[in-house]
Chain A
Amino acid sequence: MEPINIIEGEVSFLDRSDVDTDQIIPKQFLKRVERTGFGEFLFYDWIRDGEIVLHPHPILVSGHNFGSGSSREHAVWALHQFGFKAVIAPSYSDIFYSNCTKNGFLPVVLESDECQAIAAAGECRIDLENQVVTGEAKAPSRSTVRSNAACWADLTTSP
């Protein structure tokens, strides 16, 4: 596992609440007995049906209760293998949150309006050690946001 210090770059925005793990990685892809090969199936139905477009930027921003539902760690593997290094949302399901921390995939908690501002900024920098997220405004119309994040990476507990 890669140690995490700074994660920065463009953000992808999935402006929905209650994004459940059945959507993140649909059940037909849970039959693999390996930990790899899930990235290409991320949000399979939503992407294939043209419901959403998602770029593999380093950071994903989404809504409340992200990762609800099934305990499948495959959801974290899929997000990570797709290219995301961190996710920012106002809240997560407990099991999903803990699965993130076992895989060096950083779940960041920010208020809803801060998530929106980061998404509007289009880019951001997460400083794990100092627990600060900064959204840099690139285009003049984009806003700048700086916020204290609650993020917790438990990188020491693999058995």
Chain B
Amino acid sequence: MTKPKTMFEKIWEAHEVREELIYIDLHLVHEVTSPQAFEGLRMTGRKLRRPDKTVATADHNVPTDGTPTANLIKDQLSRKQVETLEENAAEFGVPVYSLGSDTQGIVHVIGPELGLTQPGNTIVCGDSHTSTHGAFGALAFGIGTSEVEHVMATQTLVQRRPKTMRINYTGKLSPSVTSKDLILATIGRLGTGGMTGYVVEYAGEAIRELTMEQRLTVCNMTIEGGGRAGMIAPDEVTYEYMRGKPGVPEDFDAAVEQWKQLPTDEGATFDYEIDIDASAVSPMVTWGTTPGMVIEVTDRVPDPADLPTAGERESAERALQYMGLEAGTPMEDVKPERVFIGSCTNSRISDLREAAGAIKGRKVADTIRAMVVPGSALVKAQAEEEGLDQLFEEAGFEWRGAGCSMCLGMNPDTLFEGERCASTSNRNFEGRQGKGGRTHLVSPTMATAAAIEGHFVDIRNWS
């Protein structure tokens, strides 16, 4: 009998060209982390080895105001970066979905929706949220620009073999509690460095019951816990989601038979395993400046004095000061001025359906400016076909074009100094959404509820 293996081991071993050198099946490229890599190829007179396994999109810099083409981007540096991507893609023969393309969008949204993200693949991108794609049972992780260049030149990557962790979720999520809450609660428990050095497999009943898009949200935030990659075993949910998508293998059923071999074998061992009770998870809101600084919406903002170490107390004090929050304030009394529904964490069609479904004819509070930014041009088109844009606009949300938007504010969508935002994105770092901006991470329905009520609410008691 062969030794039982984890899903990670099966994928790693199938891709090891030699020790610690792995073959890459799919390389996703965006405009911010690629120009220096293309330049490196040019300087050394190299070709891009597998343009057919490389796909580029413009997302971070694109305005979401309907600007139709790159040459019309007003910000000069953004325009240059997007145009450089288009030129590089043309020169090296890489397909590119830039501004104006009907498949443009956030790199981690378009991979799955175009059927490019597939089980058993190794997937890299010069972007830390590449962990998203692991939801399909792929090994997917972010790399730096030097590594981007290495993959472009060789289609391989030098990698130290990471350790493996499995998180077993017991029980089911309560109604109104989402996969966003599940992963926020997990990071709150393990800490922002708790997964560092590990590839994390999410398993258990609560995971099996998630839709594909909800699973993407979980894997997306793996990096916020420091994880190298997040993975979920493929199953019928995965295959049904993929079936009929443009990039999937021609003989889909044969591919499915292969993919069925991927899940972790009974008896395989991980370097670390932990159980988390999913049924105990509540709607979550971050209060500080790392995703690990998170509490249940019904909790009060923590008092730094209660924390165990001097270092933690100091970080918490600084975070409270930055966030303009008083210890002991009930989270439900905290009032954002902005609401952002978008980003590679929560901008897929099901996220928008959930957010729109929670409106029920109500209006955005007049103290709030709220915006909805679909993750891709395809999501936008689908939402408009379903009339979600009208539901949002009638309620007073702004309906924008596809892109990273206010997840990081490299484009015109930013917070002003001191503004407080309920955001469905993944990072609440200082200044992430704009200098001096204050970010609270939440799920799409929590964001909608905050927009309507003008403060955070426990959606379990909100009808």
Cβ of A71 and Cβ of B311 under 8 Å apart? no
Nearest-CB residue, chain B, relative to A31:
B77
Evaluate whether A65 and B430 lie within 8 angstroms (CB atoms) in the complex, with A27-B409, A33-B39, A98-B144 already known.
no
Query: B160-196 toward A: CB 8 Å interface, digit per residue (1/0)?
Result: 0010000000000000000000000000000011001
Quick check: is A73 within 8 A (CB to CB) of the other chain? Answer: yes
B154 in the interface (beta carbon within 8 A): yes
Across the interface, which residues of B come within 8 angstroms of A76, CB to CB?
144
Q: Which chain B residues (209-226) contact chain A, with CB distance < 8 Å?
A: 223, 226
Are the CB atoms of B429 and A102 closer together than 8 Å? no
A69-B429, A159-B154 given; A16·B81 CB < 8 A: no
Which B residue sits closest to A20, measured CB to CB?
B429
Q: Is the CB of A159 within 8 A of B33?
A: no
Q: Which residue of B lies closest to A72 (CB)?
A: B33
Number of B interface residues, CB 8 Å? 51
Selected contact of A22 from candidates B33, B78, B432, CB within 8 Å: B432
Instruction: Report B-chain residues with C-beta under 8 Å of the C-beta of A63.
Output: 311
Supposing A18-B192, A93-B226, A159-B154 touch, asked if A98 and B147 sit within 8 A by C-beta, the answer is yes
In the bound complex, what is the Cα–Cα distance between A62 and B429 (angstroms)?
Answer: 18
CA distance A35 to B148 in the complex (A): 14
The answer to whether the Cβ of A143 comes within 8 Å of any Cβ in the partner chain is no
Q: Does chain A have a CB within 8 A of B143? A: yes
Minimum C-beta distance from A141 to chain B (A):
21
Report how far A138 CA is from B142 CA in the complex, Å.
Answer: 42
Q: CB distance A95 to B144 under 8 Å?
A: yes
Q: Contacts A27-B409, A65-B226 given: A159-B153 contact, CB under 8 Å? A: yes
Instruction: Indicate if the CB atoms of B435 and A68 lie closer than 8 Å.
Output: no
CB pair B290–A18 under 8 Å, yes or no, is: yes
Q: How far is B77's CA from A156's CA once the two chains are assembled, in angstroms?
A: 33
Question: What is the minimal beta-carbon distance from B371 to any residue of chain A, in angstroms?
Answer: 19
A93–B196 CB distance below 8 A: yes
Structural contact, A157 and B192, CB atoms closer than 8 A: no
A62 to B92 CA separation, bound complex (whole angstroms)? 40
User: Do A102 and B144 form a contact, CB below 8 Å, given A33-B81, A94-B196, A95-B128?
Assistant: yes
Q: Does B106 contact A (CB under 8 A)?
A: no
Assess the B193–A91 pair: CB atoms within 8 A: yes
| Of A34, A64, A157, the contact of B158 (CB 8 Å cutoff) | A157
Against A, the Cβ 8 Å flags (1 = close, 0 = not) of B279-316 are: 00000000000100000000000000000000100010
Q: A26 to B432, alpha carbons, bound, how many Å?
A: 8
A69 contact from B35, B128, B228, Cβ within 8 A: B128
Minimal beta-carbon separation of B225 from chain A (angstroms): 10
Interface centre among A18, A74, A157 (most CB of B within 10 A): A18
Assess the A23–B430 pair: CB atoms within 8 A.
yes
A16 vs B142: C-alpha distance in the bound complex, in angstroms?
Answer: 24
| B145: chain A residues within 8 A (beta carbon) | 35, 73-74, 99
Cα distance A110–B228 in the bound complex, in angstroms: 21
B80 within 8 A of A: yes
**Does A144 count as interface, using CB distance less than 8 angstroms?**
no
Cα–Cα, bound, A56→B206 (Å) = 50
CA distance A94 to B154 in the complex (A): 22
Distance of A147 Cα from B462 Cα, bound (Å): 57
A130 within 8 A of B: no
Instruction: Please name all residues of chain A whose beta carbon is closer than 8 Å to the beta carbon of B429 when the two chains form the complex.
Output: 20, 22-23, 69
User: In the docked arrangement, what's the CA distance between A95 and B33, Å?
Assistant: 13
Contacts of A74 in B (CB 8 A): 145
Docked complex: B237-269 residues within 8 A CB-CB of A: none
Do B33 and A71 touch (CB < 8 A)? Answer: yes
B149 at the interface (CB under 8 A from A): yes
CB <8 Å contact, A102 and B128? no
A 56-92 to B, binary, CB cutoff 8 A, 1 in contact else 0: 0000000111001111111010000000000000011
**Beta-carbon contact of A71 and B143 below 8 Å:** yes
Which one of A31, A35, A95, A99 contacts B78 once the chains associate, using CB atoms below 8 Å?
A31
Residues from chain B with Cβ under 8 Å of A159 in the complex: 40, 44, 46, 149-150, 153-154
**B85 nearest CB neighbor, chain A only:** A33
Chain A stretch 11-56: residues in CB contact (< 8 A) with chain B: 16-18, 20, 22-23, 26-28, 30-35, 45
Which residues of chain A have C-beta atoms less than 8 A from B427's C-beta? Answer: 20, 22, 69
Pick the 10 closest A-B CB pairs, nearest first: A102-B146, A33-B35, A31-B77, A99-B144, A73-B144, A65-B193, A71-B142, A73-B145, A159-B153, A71-B128
Name B residues whose Cβ lies closer than 8 Å to a Cβ of A: 32-33, 35-36, 39-40, 44, 46, 60-61, 77-78, 80-81, 84, 126-128, 141-147, 149-150, 153-154, 158, 162, 192-193, 196-197, 223, 226, 228, 290, 311, 315, 318, 408-410, 427, 429-432, 435
**A-side interface residues toward B, CB under 8 Å?**
16-18, 20, 22-23, 26-28, 30-35, 45, 63-65, 68-74, 76, 91-95, 98-99, 102-103, 154, 157-159
- Additional A-B contact list (14), CB under 8 Å, known A68-B290, A71-B127: A22-B429, A23-B429, A23-B431, A31-B81, A32-B77, A34-B36, A34-B39, A45-B430, A63-B311, A70-B128, A71-B33, A73-B33, A93-B193, A93-B226
29 A–B contact pairs at CB < 8 A?
A16-B315, A18-B192, A18-B193, A18-B315, A20-B427, A31-B32, A31-B61, A31-B78, A31-B80, A33-B39, A34-B35, A34-B39, A35-B36, A64-B311, A68-B192, A69-B128, A71-B128, A71-B143, A72-B32, A73-B36, A73-B144, A73-B145, A93-B226, A94-B197, A94-B226, A98-B144, A102-B146, A157-B158, A159-B150
